[in-house]
Structures are given as C-alpha cells and as structure tokens.
Structure 1
Amino acid sequence: MLVYHLYANNSIVSYSRALFLCEQEMEFQQMLLRVQESLTGDEVQDMVFLCSDLLSPKDLSTVTLGRELFSLLENRNLLSPEDPFLLLELLRIMKRNSLLRNLPFDAFTQASGMLYAQRISPYRQLLYELSESICDQDLKNIKFLLIKTLPRKKLEKDMTLLQLFWEMEKEDLLGEDNLDVLKDIIASIHPGLEKRIIQYKTENFNTVEDQVDRLSLAEGAAGISGDHSQHLEFNPVFEEGSTNLPVTEIPEIQHYKMKGDRRGVCLIINNYDFRACGLKNREGTDFDKKRLKGVFQWLGFEVVAEQDCDRMRMLQVLRDLAARDHTLADCVVCCVLSHGREDGIVGVDGNTVTFKELIETLSPRWCSSLYQKPKLFFIQACRGGKEQSAAFSQTFSEDEDMPVSDAAVPRDSIPEAADYLLAMSTVPSYVSYREKDKGTWFIQSLCHNLQLLVPRGIDLLSILTQVNSDVSKKTDKSGKKKQMPQPEFTLTKRVVFPAPKTPPPLP
C-alpha cells in the first residue's frame, strides 16, 4: 500500500510539473509572437546579422520573419523559456527598450536562475553600431570606395550596410581581427566613427604595452583560509622618454574632463521593504535616499530613483541606464542602498546581484558612450556578518537607539577595466550600520563631505579618504560597534567635480 501511495504521489508531482512546463512554454511562445509582431522587416534582418556567428549562413539565408529566426534558435538550444537571455540581449543591442519593458521577461528569467551571459560577440555589436550611424549617402560613398574591390554586380544591388559587411567578410576584407580596410573607409567617410573602431581594437586586442595601469581588486580567494586582504598589482606604463625624468620630478595627475553640457545620470536604487523574503525592512534608508538625491542634484546630475527592486529589476534598471546615450555626459553614478550577502547585493525578493554583474552592466562593451569616462558606484550594504569592535566582539539586542546592520561580501572582483570606482560602506566580511532616525553612517558621511569639500576643489578619492576617517571614528552609545569603509578603483585620472554655483542643500 505504501508503494502505491508513493507511486501515486510521484505521478501527481510529475503531472503537475509537466502541466507547469507546458503552460510556461505556451506563455513563452506567446511572448515570441508579440516580439515578432513588433519587429519590422529591417529589424529582423538586423537580428539575423547579429546571430550570424551562432547559426549557419545557409539557415539564415531563408529567414524573413522573426518566428523563423526564433525557431532556428530554439532548435539549436539557444533560446527557451529556461534561457531567454539571447532575446533579451538582441533587443537591448537594438535599443528596443520600450518593448523590453512591456514584455513579461521576469517570469522566465527569475524561474531560470541563470546568469545573464553574453552571446553576441563585441565584433557583431560594433558592426551593428556602425550601421546605425551611417546614412544612405554615406553608404553610397562606401560602395564607391569598394568598387574596385568587390564585384560591381553586388555593389549595384539595393543592399544595406550590414549586407555589405557580409559581402566584405566573404571576400576576406573584414573580420573580427581584420578591421583595417573598414577603418580606412570609415575614416574617409565618417571620421567620428573611426574612433569607435580604434576603441574596439584597444579593448579587445590590446597588448601589454597598450594597457593602462590597472589595480587587481580580487578579494581574498576562497582557497586561502582567512585571507580577506586586497591585493594590489601595478603594471606601470611609461611614455617614451619618461625614464629620463629626474627622480624628484612628480608628473601631474590628470583630471577627467568635467565640462560637458550635463554632469550625467545618478541612479539611486533604494531597497527598503524586504517582507517578501523574510529579511527585516531597512528603516532609515529613506534618509540616505533623500540626502543623496539632494547632493547629486546640487552637483549637476540628473537623479533617477528606483524603489524596492528585486534582482531582475536591479539588473534591468542598470541595462536601461547603459542603453542611454552618455555622449554629452561627464560620468555616471550608481548608488545602491540594500541588504548585502557574501555574494552580492540582495534584492527585495531575497535574490542577489553580484558585484561583478552590477558593475559590468555599465562597461564600455555594453555602453560605448561611457568609454574612458568615470563610472562611480557607491554601495551601502553589508559584506558579511562580523561586527567590528573597538575592544571586544559582542552581540547586542536590537534597540531603537542602537545602530542596526544591513547584513543578510563579495568574493567577486570588479572587472579589470579602467575608469571604475566601487566605494563600499565596509570592508569584506563585516557589517555596516544604519541608524533608523538618521540613515547610514557611510552615506551620511559621504554626502556631508561632498558638500564640504567639492567647493574647495578636492578630488573624489581624497573625499573618500576623509569619509573613511570620519566613519572609522563613529560608534554607537556603548562605544563598541565600529565600521571601516573601503574604496576600490581602477580610475586612471582624478575625479574633481566642478564647484556648484548654488549653496549646498540642507542636511
């Protein structure tokens, strides 16, 4: 009898599981149909070009509709309800942000639990980006320059620039590591786009001599017991003749340009309500949000605030930020106020976004208009459960007058790319504190020192050093709870915000 019941129960579970998968598959196919109905014929061909490294030319040659492409991708296990990320990536590259927002991607991405992986090569993205910037007259000029290189019959066809790129690839005139012909043509037609090709080559094929100084910010490796230190590896690069400088001569450190039409966007992600996942609400976080908003508006930023984001929403707002055109901006700022765990920032659904995921979203690979511009992250979250003590470790009961922690530490390092700042509220493995009626020690000190020191022309790293000093001196009423913030950076120049002409906002 017991065997019968077990068999029956297993059958019910299997049936329910099959029913769920069937419903999910149907919902996914309906979503694909909505995408197809929203795409123009040219956009379908754009997708075909972007997927040309994933599917055979023979298969792609017959594709005219979105559903035909989606079927090919599904047959190659490149697209499914459990793995919808390729479609997300294609729509993001094509800047179909309104379509992304109106589709129920969260239902599939949350269920899959998979990381968002890049499948479209940077090379394909570069060619697509160039095609979006070339007008019809430019295309005619490009064809004219290729008239002695490609068959005239093909050039006389009414082809798009992406189709022309395909023909160049067939003739071995263009490739992932073969961009010289294209660069020379673009330079004579559209000099501004030549810089984008040079940028791509620098990012993807730079030699050791071409690399900028970088800091390896990998935190204590799991394989080294108890090692939570920061390892700094310097690869100094000297210009020709620089070794002849006198020992006493100190070269001036350059500043990032801060003279654009606008300073940039400041994104604030403020997570307060964690009831859905069983964590405590972050009382006092709205004080931080209000203070950050006032200070960064004062500094000339366009402030965008997002409240109570789960994992997928955090990633999506960052992708939306990356999809913006930052050409006229000087930099970008992202402030995240949330609970933290060892593997990253906690969303209100209890799921985490790793620090690597958080930062890589704004890399030049995804947002070319932020190339060589500072990307500044200010993270208020715990990095572990340990408490720093002035004298001895002790656990306190939560009291209205006692600061509380945001513990829920990253072992992910930030990407090895230049122009990043990751200002963390605490060192690895330890909590950071938040007062329910004032906000967090770190954010309140950061805002205070920005208001105090920016008008004096002090650079951002020096300001953060003062924040370190101020927070390290703070403690609770018992004198036993301590906190030590920690900036990590790959900045290659000094960040100096222009002094605002208006008085700073009141605390």
Structure 2
Amino acid sequence: MSADVQKLLSDISEALITDELAALKFLSLDHVPMRKLEAIQRAQDFFEVLQEKGMIEAGNLSFVKELLYRIGRIDLLVAQLGSSREEMERELQIPGRAKVSAYRQLLYEIAEDLTQEDVKRVKFLLQKHIPRKKLQDNASMLKVSLEMERNGIIKEDDLAMLKDILKGFRDDVNKKIYTYEEKKKEKLHYPVSVSVHPGQGAERETPHVVESYKMKNNPHGYCVILNNYIFKNLHETREGTVKDGEAVKRVFKWLQFETVEHMDLEAKQMYAKVKEYSKKDHSNMDCFVCFIFSHGDKDKIKGIDHEFVNIKDLVSCFTGSNCPSLAGKPKLFFIQACQGSGVHPAVTVKEDFSGHLETDATPLTSIPDQADILIGMATVEGFESYRCEETGSVYIQCLCDKMELLCPLRKDLITILTEVNNEVGRRVLNGWKQMPKITSTLRKELIFQIPQCPSIEKQKNKNTLS
C-alpha cells in the first residue's frame, strides 16, 4: 500500500471517535471474524486488518467509502475520499456493489434508532436469555445485538424474537424488520418457467429448491487431522503446522465434531489410520471430515519416513462400497500441500505476510467418480502453496476464519470455500500468488449447524466489541 494511502487512512483514523469505531467493526463482521475485531481498540489497527483481509487494496477504497457512508461521516467521505452522499447512493444501487449485508445494515439502523430508554427496555426483556453481566448499563445496542447473535436469539433469517421484544413500544422500528424480511423473500424466489396449455392460462411450475444434507446428530461425525510436523530429515520440519491443527480443532469442536489429531505418521500409518476410520460405524453420524497436512509430490502425500501414499487411495477408503455407513453422507477432505513446484506471478500490491513463508509439496489428480465427496486443495495442480512459520498455512487459516465467520450466517460449504478461494487468491505471498481448488461431487447443500451455546467466541474467553 502506498505511503499516500497509508497517510489517508491515518487521517481518517484520527477523526473517528470510539462509538464510530465500534460501528465500523460491527458493519465489517461479514468480512472479518469476531475474534480479530474484538481486540482492536484503534481505528488505524482496524484499517490494517481490512488490508490483511483484502478489503482495502491499492487503488480500491470502495469498502472504506461504504463504511463511512453507513455511519454518516459524509464529511470524511467528501474531504478525504473525494466522494459524496449522492455518489455513494448511486454506487450502492448497483447489484453486488454493497459489501455490508442488508442484515448487518438493519441491525445497525435499529441500534441508531433506539433511545437509551428503549435499549434499557430491550435489556430488561432479554434477562432470561442473556447473562446479566453482558447487559450492563453501559452496553450499547450494538453490543446487545452481538450477544443476541451469539446466543442464537437472532439470525439473518430469523428475527422473530427481536420483533417480539420491540412490539408495542417501537412498532416503527419493527416496520423496518418487516420490510427487510419481505425483500429477503423476494430474493429467495427462483426464476420459474411458464408453460401454456391449450385452453388454459399460464401455469407457474414449482421452483426447484436445493436440498440440504441432514445434520442432526451430536457429534455430527469425526474430524480427523493427519498432521506431519517433524520428518526423519529434520530439514523438512514443517514449522507452523501445529497452528493449523489448533485452528481446525477449535473450529470443528465448536461445530460439534469428534475431533482427533494424529501427528507425524509414516506413509503406511497414514493409509492405515484413514482406513481405520472408514471401517468404523458411522450410522449415527452425519458426515466425515479429514484434514491432511504434509509434504508430498505429484498425486501423493509424503510420510515422515519419505515414503508416499496416493491421495486417491486415501479418498477411495470412503466410497459407498468401502464405507457403507457413510453412503449418501458427505465426506470432506482438506489437503494443505503443493501440487507442484510452479509459482503464480503476481501484480504489484502490498504483501500480506511479513513472516517467513515455506512451501509444501503435494498434488492431487482426480478423485474417484463417487457421490458426496468434496476435496479442498490448498492450490491448483502444478503450483506451490504457502505456510507461515509463525501463524500456519495461508489456506487452512483462511478456511478456519471463514468457517467461524460464515457458519453462523448459515452459509453452505461451497459458498464458504468460494470465499476462501477469493481471499487467498487475492493475496500476494513472497511476491507470488496462490489459488486454492474445490473438487466436489456433493449432491446437496452442506450447512453446518451452530450450537446455541457456548459460541466459539465464548470458548476463547474474549470480551465483546468495544
């Protein structure tokens, strides 16, 4: 990022007060995980996180403009960014241009509309649902909204309790919720075909709705992590991979999976461990997840003994015939590894990582032609993937961040992985690029169920947004 842009963001930061920073953080929750936002106390740090997430790029400050417009800082929009209220209103009418979701906008507008007395009344009516220490006198309506989300009281597609709370004393605010819900219903309507029969009027055919996999058991299934860290050749030690294991365990325990990590396996042990899980009875489970972190070569994963196991052989353990108790259920494999030694050239933008990056070496050819299998690869065939020695691999850390961010919004797995592709693909890593890949024979949407309590943020003992 150029010095001029950094100076511009610094000037904007100086002009923002504490409540406005809290509003910016709240409006950015669709793009930055809660755990990253909670620790931020300065506007300058907030803008740095947006740069890391690719929301601020060289020559593109559209998200900053939108945020300032949303919180009513038109003076900064005009003086610092050369825009205007009218220009932003036109811009945000263009489909896909707005980055702040309609849901997040609605909650912010409600918080702005409610008086202090209104907020006190809302807190009183929530006492049976939210711990009192979270409803202190100084807690703003934005904080209250966050607690309602954390406790599953409100969701993007379920605002019934909020309407019930506001009913009777702020019916004008409730009208905004009803308007939001009506617009959401309109967007959910699929285009329908019209067939005209002789002697009859036009008939609308029933729109096709994508079916979802059932996710009703607890635990939903096994999440198995095969994590090769220390190899017999110590020069191949994969620093940072422990961070990947910790991130996956945190997220999938939160998602109610029985999560197990196996460290430093030889090639035969890797295959034996995967086969062991394929022989288990998964009748009372909904899904199977396997993460593999290692070095490798084309089509293969390397064990710590420098022998190889074919990725196709690992995945084949879970075909319908080899694992009948998972037939018709989703089997997910996520592989942090290179698929060759090639590197993607990059355009000139600020690098996202200052720490030392290493590469892993392993590819994937094709998966068995079987249903209900998904493989998420760190990179496309023929190219390297990157791992930071201090923070973990680019792909796995981004995947875990997006799961934390989007699962509570009931986004399906393909949508989440597409977001991962987008974010990793836009980063610049030691001057090179990385492009993850999704290979899927899933037949339905896969939406992970979020437990009502505790939330992942509570597990990490974090404070609420300031």
Please give the TM-score of this superposition, normalised by the length of structure 1: 0.48
Name which of 344, 358, 371 aligns with 2:327. 371
Name which of 374, 398, 401 aligns with 1:448. 401
Question: Is the counterpart of residue 410 in structure 1 residue 368 in structure 2?
Answer: no
Query: Counterparts of 1:331-410 in structure 2 under 5 Å?
Result: 331-391=287-347, 401-407=355-361, 409-410=363-364
TM-superposition CA deviations, 1:234-285 (whole Å, max 9, x none)? xxxxxxxx9x998986411100000124200000000011234x76110000
Question: Is the counterpart of residue 295 in structure 1 residue 251 in structure 2?
Answer: yes
Name which of 452, 456, 459 aligns with 1:504. 456
Query: Counterparts of 1:279-290 in structure 2 under 5 Å?
Result: 280-290=236-246
Name which of 275, 284, 287 aligns with 2:232. 275
Tell me the SS of whatever aligns to 1:434: strand
Look up the equivalent residue of 1:402 and give its one-letter code. Answer: H
Deviates more, 1:457-466 or 1:467-476: 467-476
Specify whether residues 429 and 249 from structure 1 end up closer, same or farther in structure 2 by C-alpha distance, changes over 3 A only: farther
Name which of 405, 422, 440 aligns with 1:489. 440
Offset of residue 402 of structure 1 = 2.9
Tell me the SS of whatever aligns to 2:229: coil
Sequence identity, in percent? 38
* Structure (1 or 2) with the larger CA radius of gyration: 1
Following TM superposition, the consecutive aligned residue runs of length 4 or more in structure 1 with deviations greater than 4 angstroms are 244-250
Offset of residue 475 of structure 1 = 1.8
- Kept after mapping to 2: 8 A contact 1:456/1:499: no
Offset of residue 391 of structure 1 = 4.3
Offset of residue 387 of structure 1 = 1.1
Look up the equivalent residue of 1:345 and give its one-letter code. Answer: I
Offset of residue 348 of structure 1 = 0.9
TM-superposition CA deviations, 1:159-184 (whole Å, max 9, x none)? xxxxxxxxxxxxxxxxxxxxxxxxxx
**Partners of 1:434 and 1:247 in 2: CA distance:** 52
**Partners of 2:263 and 2:204 in 1: CA distance:** 52
Name which of 373, 386, 389 aligns with 1:436. 389
C-alpha RMSD over aligned residues? 2.4
Offset of residue 472 of structure 1 = 0.9
Look up the equivalent residue of 1:311 and give its one-letter code. Answer: A
Tell me the SS of whatever aligns to 2:208: coil
- Kept after mapping to 1: 8 A contact 2:376/2:437: yes
Look up the equivalent residue of 1:421 and give its one-letter code. Answer: L
**Partners of 1:493 and 1:450 in 2: CA distance:** 18
Offset of residue 354 of structure 1 = 1.3
- Kept after mapping to 2: 8 A contact 1:341/1:410: no
- Kept after mapping to 1: 8 A contact 2:295/2:301: yes
Specify whether residues 408 and 489 from structure 1 end up closer, same or farther in structure 2 by C-alpha distance, changes over 3 A only: closer
Name which of 247, 263, 266 aligns with 1:307. 263
**Partners of 1:247 and 1:313 in 2: CA distance:** 57
Query: Counterparts of 1:93-242 in structure 2 under 5 Å?
Result: none
- Kept after mapping to 2: 8 A contact 1:388/1:482: yes
TM-superposition CA deviations, 1:115-137 (whole Å, max 9, x none)? xxxxxxxxxxxxxxxxxxxxxxx
Specify whether residues 288 and 448 from structure 1 end up closer, same or farther in structure 2 by C-alpha distance, changes over 3 A only: same
Offset of residue 401 of structure 1 = 2.9
Tell me the SS of whatever aligns to 1:262: coil
Look up the equivalent residue of 1:504 and give its one-letter code. Answer: I
TM-superposition CA deviations, 1:306-355 (whole Å, max 9, x none)? 00111110011111101211000010000001112112111111122112
- Kept after mapping to 2: 8 A contact 1:389/1:481: yes
**Partners of 1:246 and 1:302 in 2: CA distance:** 49
Specify whether residues 463 and 382 from structure 1 end up closer, same or farther in structure 2 by C-alpha distance, changes over 3 A only: same
**Partners of 1:257 and 1:387 in 2: CA distance:** 40
**Partners of 1:504 and 1:260 in 2: CA distance:** 19
**Partners of 1:286 and 1:346 in 2: CA distance:** 17
- Kept after mapping to 1: 8 A contact 2:218/2:257: no
Please give the TM-score of this superposition, normalised by the length of structure 2: 0.52
- How many residues matched? 255
For residue 80 of structure 2, what is the aligned residue in structure 1? none
**Partners of 1:442 and 1:280 in 2: CA distance:** 20
Name which of 264, 281, 285 aligns with 1:325. 281
**Partners of 1:357 and 1:321 in 2: CA distance:** 14
Specify whether residues 344 and 450 from structure 1 end up closer, same or farther in structure 2 by C-alpha distance, changes over 3 A only: same
Tell me the SS of whatever aligns to 1:269: strand
- Kept after mapping to 2: 8 A contact 1:325/1:369: yes
